[in-house]
Structure 1
């Protein structure tokens, strides 16, 4: 976390000394977090064709919807299919984001796919109807699966200090990386401060390396006493990458940085976690 003079709480702490654990800021009104309503800024899957039945709404990419309760993403609104796991059960979509969204047959953004342009409504094709496992927001630049930067944080703590980098990274793991129940105790270990996330990842079998990919959690374990974590949302052909983060340039708030590189520098990152 970036130290901002001496009065600020360091962002990577697992316990907030001067920051209450109850969030005081709500998510942007244009995209409520998974409430079963298809709001502006969200990509929505429907249980039935022609945008009918129960809705499951998303604000980012999901690499695996999950197949069983209680850990799967489910259809949330009233109607046919409410409470059913989304995986292999969706029939139609509405893309209310500003990005093209690609729906995949397999988890991990693999297999047959179908693209939905910004604003598009449509039925899944015969290959993907009731056979979909992941979706990806495609970036407007940088190529491949780069994701546009957006502050969709729900301000939940998940066992970390409120509005710190760890809480934001935990939200992205839960909302975009196929681990909806991720928390400070996920996998039976304590994830703790940002500078211990790479150690926790190794303990539970999450891949740790130095290769940035979209959706990786970048770990800095050299900054101060607590380190820093961020979400990689874009990777470029020269090996540099962009991150989204909390409590680095902006105190207890969202920010982005562009064209970083893996290095030992205190303002960079040394590890990449691949959930």
Structure 2
């Protein structure tokens, strides 16, 4: 996953050098998958070993994933339309800071369980958090 991110960064850097100015249009969806190129995290319906599947792109804190749903991703549609709450298996962060997934709604409460994803990191959720995600916070 780290190599994929470095290649995407190199592509953007090369575009800046040759074009002089980077624009949002330069990093098109055909070149980048799901969250790349923005300060977002992607929660995936499946783990990396299962091919990721559907995605939920998160760009701000969410204290309760109820009402949010996975959509089609660059990695497929398995899980599309399913609620994000208690159905995520992995997280891909393109955020320049840590991102924490919480077991309980009302984030910032790790009294039972939570898992922190480092900046620009990818993690399959651990056995406690997989399919037990209720909230997500950028920190």
Q: TM-score, normalised by structure 2?
A: 0.68
How far is 1:99 from its partner?
1.3
Residue 106 of structure 1 aligns to a residue whose secondary structure is coil
Q: Which runs of 5+ in 2 are unaligned?
A: 1-22
Paired residues in the alignment total 102
CA offsets 1:164-219 (integer angstroms, 9 cap, x no match): xxxxxxxxxxxxxxxxxxxxxxxxxxxxxxxxxxxxxxxxxxxxxxxxxxxxxxxx
> RMSD over aligned Cα, in angstroms?
2.0
Distance 1:54 1:126 in 2: 20
Q: Which runs of 5+ in 1 are unaligned?
A: 1-27, 67-71, 139-275
Aligned to 1:113: 114
Larger strand fraction of residues: 1
Choose between structure 1 and 2 for higher RCO, CA contacts under 8 A separated by at least 6 residues: 2
1:73 to 60, 68, 73: 68
Distance 1:128 1:91 in 2: 8
CA offsets 1:231-256 (integer angstroms, 9 cap, x no match): xxxxxxxxxxxxxxxxxxxxxxxxxx
Contact 1:38 1:55 in 2 (8 A): no
Q: Which runs of 4+ in 1 moved over 3 A?
A: none
Distance 1:73 1:99 in 2: 23
Aligned to 1:96: 94
Residue 108 of structure 1 aligns to a residue whose secondary structure is coil
Aligned to 2:57: 57
How far is 1:135 from its partner?
0.7
Aligned to 2:137: 136
Map 1:11-90 to 2 at 5 A. 29=24, 37-39=34-36, 40-50=38-48, 52-66=52-66, 72-77=67-72, 78-90=76-88
CA offsets 1:71-92 (integer angstroms, 9 cap, x no match): x111011411001000000001
Residue 62 of structure 2 aligns to a residue whose secondary structure is coil
Distance 2:126 2:113 in 1: 10
Larger helix fraction of residues: 2
Distance 1:73 1:101 in 2: 18
